[in-house]
Structure 1
C-alpha cells in the first residue's frame, strides 16, 4: 500500500479519535512538539525511528516521555505506530493532521515556492487569488527555491501546480525526447 495512503488513514483515525474527545488542537500541538523534539535530538530520533532498534526499547522510551507530559492519546498513537512498524510515517502523518485541523476550521494551507523572495504585496495578491480560486481562506507558506530559475510552484495537499521555468524546461525536454 502506498505510503501516503497509509499516512492519510492514520491521520484521519487520530483526528477522528481526538475529535471524539474534543482534543484535536491539543493532540496536534503535542505531536508537533514531539516532531520538534525528534528534530532537535538526533539520538532520540535514532532510538525511535530506526527500524533495527527493538520495539520494546522504543516503547520504553515512549513510556518515559509519557511520564513527562505526553497525553495517553498521543502515547497510544505513537505506540501503535511502533507496533505496526510505521514510525517512518510520523512526519507525514503530522503534516496531514495539521492540514485536517486547518480544513476543519475552514482554512486551506498552501505552500508556495518562488525563485526569489516575494514582496508582501505579491504575497497578498497571490493569497487573494488563491482564496477566490479555492473558495476558502488561505494560509500561505512561502519559500525560496533558486533551482526554479523563475516563476512559482504551488502545493495544495498532494497536488503540485508547477508554473516555474524549470518545470516548463522539463516539459519541453520530455516532449523533445518523445519525438
Structure 2
C-alpha cells in the first residue's frame, strides 16, 4: 500500500486510487505518460484548462471534450476510464492536483525524488551529473531534475526538493552579506 502522507485531500485519494490500479495492471508508465501529456496540454490550451476547471460545463460536455482529447493523444484505457469517472463525479477540476500527487506516488515507488533546479546559465551534462550525484548522496534517493535557467540569478543554483530549498545563488549570498554588514554597523 502506498504511503498517503503528503497527498492533498480528495485529489490525493483519487491519485492513490488510480496509482494502485495502474500498479495492479502494470500501467504506471502509460498513465504517467498520459498525465504528463495532459499537464502540458493544460498549460498550453486555455480552452482545455477552462473545460477542466469551469463548473459551467455539464458532466456530458466535460466527458465529450476529455474523451476527444484522450482519443487524440492515444491515451491508455485506464487513463480514459479514470478521467471519465472524474467527469461523472464532477471532480475534473482536481486533475492538476491529482497529476501532481500521482507523480509523487510514482517517485516514491521508484525510489526517486523530484528536484526543481534554477541556474543562471544552462547546465552542461557534467554539471547535471555532478548535481544528481550530490543530491542522491544528500537525499538518499535518485533525483529527477527539472532544470530551468533564471537570468535574474547572478550565479550559482537554487534547488527545491519538496518543501526544502537549497539556495547557493550568488544573489542570496550577496543579500546575506549585505544584511550582515548592516547588522555590524549598528
Please confirm whether the aligned pair reaches a TM-score higher than 0.5, indicating the same fold. Answer: yes
For 2:87, the equivalent position in structure 1 comes to 82
Could you tell me which runs of 5 or more consecutive residues in structure 2 were left unpaired when the two chains were aligned: 1-5
Segments of structure 1 that go 5 or more residues without pairing to the other structure are: none
The TM-score, its normalising length taken from structure 2, stands at 0.70
Q: Does structure 1 residue 31 correspond to structure 2 residue 31?
A: no
2:62 matched to which residue of 1?
58
Matches of 1:115 and 1:6 in 2, distance apart? 38
Say if 1:6 and 1:163 are closer, same or farther in 2 by CA, change over 3 A.
farther
Aligned residue in 2 for 1:98: 103
Q: What residue is the counterpart of 2:3 in the other structure?
A: none
Q: Deviations over 1:14-46 (max 9, x none)?
A: 111211222111112222223334444443333
Is the 1:111–1:140 Cα contact (8 Å) retained in structure 2? Answer: yes
TM-score (norm 1): 0.73
Q: Is the 8 A contact 1:149 1:164 kept in 2?
A: yes
The equivalent residue for 1:14 is 18
CA–CA distance in 2 between the matches of 1:59 and 1:95? 21
Deviation at 1:3, TM superposition (A): 9.0
Change (3 A) 1:48 1:136: closer
**Structure 1 contact 3–89 (Cα < 8 Å) conserved:** no
CA pair 103-10 structure 1, distance change in 2 beyond 3 A: same
Secondary structure at 2:152's aligned position in 1? helix
Q: 1:12 to 1:118 in 2, by over 3 A?
A: same
Task: Report how many aligned residue pairs link the two structures.
Answer: 175
